[in-house]
A and B are shown apart, each in its own frame.
Chain A
């Protein structure tokens, strides 16, 4: 990243060259370099604004996006929201002035950082079509909406109002913008519907309606009624600051003394630390910040980088959260009927060069996802989908660096994008996302970020692997189930009929074939009562009585009701333990409980663990992890199934069968 950002340069040069000229020169970094991308960029700017407006005003966003085809290559992009609206005198400035209301120095996590925002889209539209943009906005206090058509005066960076009026609008409040522009519409991977789909996944609190130029309207319904927690704005941390920004801040500051400037405009800088920094830079703490020359600014910058400081606070970040990632994925991808949503993972916040950041990962597996293609990586930075430059993005690279073969996906040489029916969601949120370029299409690599991504992806991979192992075990046991429940009784019936004797009792044969304790689960949901009733059955298909402890891990903060039978322990962290009575051979034991207040999709599989039994005998539950510091009895001494061994050496007649095609 250049030390002086494009936006600053733009601001500086504003008077010298015309903005449209600058725009023309920098189309690429602004996201308007191709006809397809321009259309998408305009939609993005509009939707970003709408989401931010909702967040600012604590309103659950309801956003309508419409792309209307006017001509072969001319479209109108409409974005309408239920946000707080914009007061009349600001409307023209917000849409008709570049860099207006910049969030440039803000240290809170925002969608729009720098960039030209919505006014860039307005300008692109007017350059390509010569037509004005129409805006309608209404604030709650007003009875009517203000409607305006405007053109940017690119020389003065001022809006020119073409027409304005007050109109009746049924909305209580909100904003609607209609931008005419030249573009090309497509439906591929980098398209408006894909962008909106991805946006809906990471903004489960928003309802998004899309009307394409042709075909059916698509609605991404809201998956939660809870707004994401508000992000706090914090001053920058000295470790992350860039020289150009530091110099700009010193020009703008109201502090008269350098030490005071450091203390007041940076986080984690006490008056003692401020003095130390000044001393290290060889500068007078009382000098005027505005008076520093470049050399002095450089020395100060160096001193700031090497000062020992506390990490920045991290409550300025707004991760989506594990619960909502799963909801968002289910909500949007549910029609692909994935067999498994790996429990998503939100890492604790960390810091790279003074900037707090946090990574989140989710994996969706199976169902109708294509099994023989590279997995899809959904990249997000600060809840904004990244659609371009996947190859050059740290988020993609982090996925490619993991050896997915360990986690059940195919991958040539253990590197590169793995193949398999999976979608991996990667979200990076930060007060300052290190983009590779001003176009903000890809994330640059930073050691700390790569480490966090790697840890998160591997943990998510482990969760996937656990699921796949369980599935394989179950498939094998299910096969045996079929044998003992469907086939064996019929063999018994038929053979008894042929030899004319009574049907034999099959218990002993069944335990010989199965030889396991099988835990299966049934979850019923009562929509009206919002209640899950969970039943776990423990079938003892071994030839001896078995005693074991069953452990369940429930989501935190949810208290199970009507637990049957009485558990031995219920802990605050959601763990319940049953010490089951001895289950006779070929008998079963059941436990059940109810969970109240959850949506159906929020509980679809229990985390079941066992202890006090050889876990190798148990299918459908994992061994209790050792770090759960419980002093349950060691495994019972199990007798080795000796008889089996001899039989295993017999040649399986049906497996050895070779192609008998010579008759």
Chain B
């Protein structure tokens, strides 16, 4: 199930060394009669700090210990050993695999097998955090998330055959747009030019389609990006590159609920899970033009009541340092008080064109983008 991939040998040696060091430490502890353990920077909201150099949130200095004293910890250590061996063998054989393939390969690992792909993904990230390498260095890649782009953006992508193919994301694609590949680094995707003032990153497919149908990309001279919920690393990386290399402003347009706030936070401030690489993924200048609690009131939008999970998420955000500013505190508290949330498509209450004729101009105008 693995595919051959060319190149990458120098990084691989670095990866092999780093992985060997992890195994060696465990071995030394066992040989010395100690309880084996691994120290890992805590990947929690309590351990993210603002990095003023990159203006994004990165992990702080808090460390957690994964120890063989507990069943869960012992199992994770054993899995780590299996993953180390698996990656080492892939690098040796010049292979690579998707995260999902690794999850399935663990079926053969007996008691060490993963019970959900989430477990194997988290472990892969743990290794990134410990070794300060990227999962690409470990020959692990995600599946494509299926996020897409429509707008007057021209880029060059290296095809499977190794040719460079120039694509205009308005003229050369169908209604579904240009699909963002999992690798959007320069070696694979070269950004050529864009005739646009800004990028509008949209949470839901329904709203993306609405804006496409209404021709909003032409009308407002913008590039539409469909985030597909929480955006994948490659989607965030592409936004970051468009922002940095083509100097395009990024605006996120989401639902009005606690989860949407987190989508904006991971685009603009850096996600907690990937805070070790926030400077590659986050676009600190991104603006939020999604549905706010105040919009729900001002536009009198149709709403749903908050679920207990929603309320829990909002309360968690109250102690999330990324939301520790006046704007977010107000929005979170207002939403808790009115106990309501709204979808971005609720704007259809006033007709199909309302979002493009009224709502977005009212939001983007003050930002100088329309």
A residues at B contact (CB < 8 Å): 479-480, 482-483, 486-488, 490-492, 494-499, 501, 504, 506-509, 512-513, 647, 650-658, 660-663
On whether the beta carbons of B111 and A658 are closer than 8 Å, the reply is no
Instruction: Determine if B9 is an interface residue (Cβ-Cβ < 8 Å).
Output: no
- Give Cα A140–Cα B73 distance, bound, in whole angstroms: 74
- Give Cα A657–Cα B76 distance, bound, in whole angstroms: 13
Answer whether A499 and B273 are a contact pair too, CB < 8 Å, given A490-B112, A491-B26, A662-B230. Answer: no
Q: Which of B83-105 contact A (CB under 8 A)?
A: 84-85, 88
Closest to A508 in B: B33
Instruction: Determine if B248 is an interface residue (Cβ-Cβ < 8 Å).
Output: no
Most buried by A among B42, B44, B74, B76: B74
On whether the beta carbons of A509 and B230 are closer than 8 Å, the reply is no
On whether the beta carbons of A652 and B85 are closer than 8 Å, the reply is no
Q: How far is the CB of B144 from chain A (nearest CB, A)?
A: 16
On whether the beta carbons of A656 and B42 are closer than 8 Å, the reply is yes
- Give Cα A655–Cα B274 distance, bound, in whole angstroms: 19
- Give Cα A496–Cα B30 distance, bound, in whole angstroms: 10
On whether the beta carbons of B30 and A498 are closer than 8 Å, the reply is no
Interface string of B249-266 (1 = CB under 8 A from A): 000000000000011011
On whether the beta carbons of B82 and A494 are closer than 8 Å, the reply is yes
Please tell me which one of the listed residues A488, A654, A662 contacts residue B76 in the complex, with CB atoms under 8 A apart: A654
Please tell me which one of the listed residues A480, A490, A651, A658 contacts residue B78 in the complex, with CB atoms under 8 A apart: A490
Closest 5 CB pairs of A and B: A508-B33, A653-B64, A494-B81, A498-B23, A504-B31
- Give Cα A490–Cα B63 distance, bound, in whole angstroms: 26
Please tell me which one of the listed residues A479, A488, A504, A660 contacts residue B273 in the complex, with CB atoms under 8 A apart: A660
Q: List 20 A-B contacts (CB under 8 A).
A: A480-B71, A483-B69, A487-B68, A487-B111, A494-B23, A494-B85, A498-B85, A499-B23, A501-B27, A504-B27, A509-B30, A512-B35, A647-B35, A647-B67, A650-B64, A650-B65, A654-B72, A656-B42, A658-B45, A661-B230
On whether the beta carbons of A487 and B44 are closer than 8 Å, the reply is no
Answer whether A652 and B44 are a contact pair too, CB < 8 Å, given A498-B20, A662-B273. Answer: no
Q: Enumerate chain A residues within 8 angstroms of B81, measured Cβ to Cβ.
A: 490-491, 494-495, 498
On whether the beta carbons of A491 and B35 are closer than 8 Å, the reply is no
Q: Enumerate chain A residues within 8 angstroms of B265, measured Cβ to Cβ.
A: 662
Q: A494-B23, A498-B24 are in contact. List 4 more A-B contacts (CB 8 A).
A: A482-B71, A488-B30, A491-B78, A654-B73
Most buried by B among A479, A480, A652, A660: A660
On whether the beta carbons of B78 and A653 are closer than 8 Å, the reply is no
Q: Which of B247-299 contact A (CB under 8 A)?
A: 262-263, 265-266, 271-274
Q: How far is the CB of A17 from chain B (nearest CB, A)?
A: 67
On whether the beta carbons of A509 and B33 are closer than 8 Å, the reply is yes
Q: Enumerate chain B residues within 8 angstroms of A507, measured Cβ to Cβ.
A: 33
On whether the beta carbons of A506 and B78 are closer than 8 Å, the reply is no
Please tell me which one of the listed residues B34, B70, B73, B76 contacts residue A509 in the complex, with CB atoms under 8 A apart: B34
Most buried by B among A494, A512, A653: A653
B residues at A contact (CB < 8 Å): 19-20, 23-24, 26-27, 29-36, 38, 40, 42-45, 62-78, 81-82, 84-85, 88, 111-112, 122, 230, 233, 262-263, 265-266, 271-274, 316
Closest to A650 in B: B65
On whether the beta carbons of B65 and A662 are closer than 8 Å, the reply is no
Answer whether A498 and B88 are a contact pair too, CB < 8 Å, given A653-B42, A662-B230. Answer: yes
- Give Cα A402–Cα B277 distance, bound, in whole angstroms: 59
- Give Cα A513–Cα B233 distance, bound, in whole angstroms: 39
Closest to A649 in B: B65
On whether the beta carbons of B112 and A495 are closer than 8 Å, the reply is no
On whether the beta carbons of B62 and A487 are closer than 8 Å, the reply is no
Q: How far is the CB of B363 from chain A (nearest CB, A)?
A: 23
- Give Cα A486–Cα B112 distance, bound, in whole angstroms: 10
Q: Enumerate chain B residues within 8 angstroms of A492, measured Cβ to Cβ.
A: 27, 30
- Give Cα A650–Cα B64 distance, bound, in whole angstroms: 7
On whether the beta carbons of B66 and A488 are closer than 8 Å, the reply is no
Q: Enumerate chain A residues within 8 angstroms of B76, measured Cβ to Cβ.
A: 654
Answer whether A662 and B271 are a contact pair too, CB < 8 Å, given A654-B73, A654-B76. Answer: yes
Q: How far is the CB of A488 from chain B (nearest CB, A)?
A: 6
Q: How far is the CB of B279 from chain A (nearest CB, A)?
A: 16
Q: Enumerate chain B residues within 8 angstroms of A486, measured Cβ to Cβ.
A: 111
Q: How far is the CB of A328 from chain B (nearest CB, A)?
A: 40
Q: Enumerate chain B residues within 8 angstroms of A661, measured Cβ to Cβ.
A: 230, 262
On whether the beta carbons of A496 and B27 are closer than 8 Å, the reply is yes
Please tell me which one of the listed residues A479, A483, A494, A512 contacts residue B34 in the complex, with CB atoms under 8 A apart: A512
Q: How far is the CB of A281 from chain B (nearest CB, A)?
A: 74
On whether the beta carbons of B40 and A487 are closer than 8 Å, the reply is no
On whether the beta carbons of A658 and B44 are closer than 8 Å, the reply is yes
Q: Enumerate chain B residues within 8 angstroms of A662, measured Cβ to Cβ.
A: 230, 262-263, 265-266, 271-273
- Give Cα A497–Cα B82 distance, bound, in whole angstroms: 11
Q: How far is the CB of B274 from chain A (nearest CB, A)?
A: 6
Q: Enumerate chain B residues within 8 angstroms of A663, measured Cβ to Cβ.
A: 230, 233, 266, 271-274
- Give Cα A501–Cα B274 distance, bound, in whole angstroms: 34
On whether the beta carbons of B65 and A660 are closer than 8 Å, the reply is no
Q: Enumerate chain B residues within 8 angstroms of A483, measured Cβ to Cβ.
A: 68-71, 74
Q: Enumerate chain B residues within 8 angstroms of A498, measured Cβ to Cβ.
A: 19-20, 23-24, 27, 81, 84-85, 88
Closest to B21 in A: A499
- Give Cα A491–Cα B80 distance, bound, in whole angstroms: 9
On whether the beta carbons of A657 and B73 are closer than 8 Å, the reply is no
On whether the beta carbons of A495 and B26 are closer than 8 Å, the reply is yes
On whether the beta carbons of A494 and B78 are closer than 8 Å, the reply is yes
On whether the beta carbons of B74 and A656 are closer than 8 Å, the reply is no
- Give Cα A506–Cα B34 distance, bound, in whole angstroms: 9
On whether the beta carbons of B64 and A652 are closer than 8 Å, the reply is yes
Closest to A515 in B: B69
On whether the beta carbons of A491 and B30 are closer than 8 Å, the reply is yes
- Give Cα A654–Cα B80 distance, bound, in whole angstroms: 13
- Give Cα A487–Cα B35 distance, bound, in whole angstroms: 12
Q: How far is the CB of B72 from chain A (nearest CB, A)?
A: 5
Closest to A497 in B: B85
Q: Enumerate chain B residues within 8 angstroms of A653, measured Cβ to Cβ.
A: 38, 40, 42, 64-66, 73
On whether the beta carbons of A656 and B44 are closer than 8 Å, the reply is yes
On whether the beta carbons of B85 and A491 are closer than 8 Å, the reply is no
- Give Cα A81–Cα B44 distance, bound, in whole angstroms: 74
Please tell me which one of the listed residues A512, A651, A654, A660 contacts residue B70 in the complex, with CB atoms under 8 A apart: A654
- Give Cα A496–Cα B42 distance, bound, in whole angstroms: 28
Q: How far is the CB of B262 from chain A (nearest CB, A)?
A: 4
- Give Cα A497–Cα B89 distance, bound, in whole angstroms: 12
Q: Enumerate chain A residues within 8 angstroms of B63, measured Cβ to Cβ.
A: 651
Q: How far is the CB of A506 from chain B (nearest CB, A)?
A: 7
Closest to B76 in A: A654
Please tell me which one of the listed residues B35, B40, B44 contacts residue A513 in the complex, with CB atoms under 8 A apart: B35
Q: How far is the CB of B286 from chain A (nearest CB, A)?
A: 15
Q: Enumerate chain B residues within 8 angstroms of A487, measured Cβ to Cβ.
A: 68, 71, 74-75, 77-78, 111
Q: How far is the CB of A476 from chain B (nearest CB, A)?
A: 10
- Give Cα A302–Cα B27 distance, bound, in whole angstroms: 88
- Give Cα A23–Cα B259 distance, bound, in whole angstroms: 73
- Give Cα A493–Cα B272 distance, bound, in whole angstroms: 34
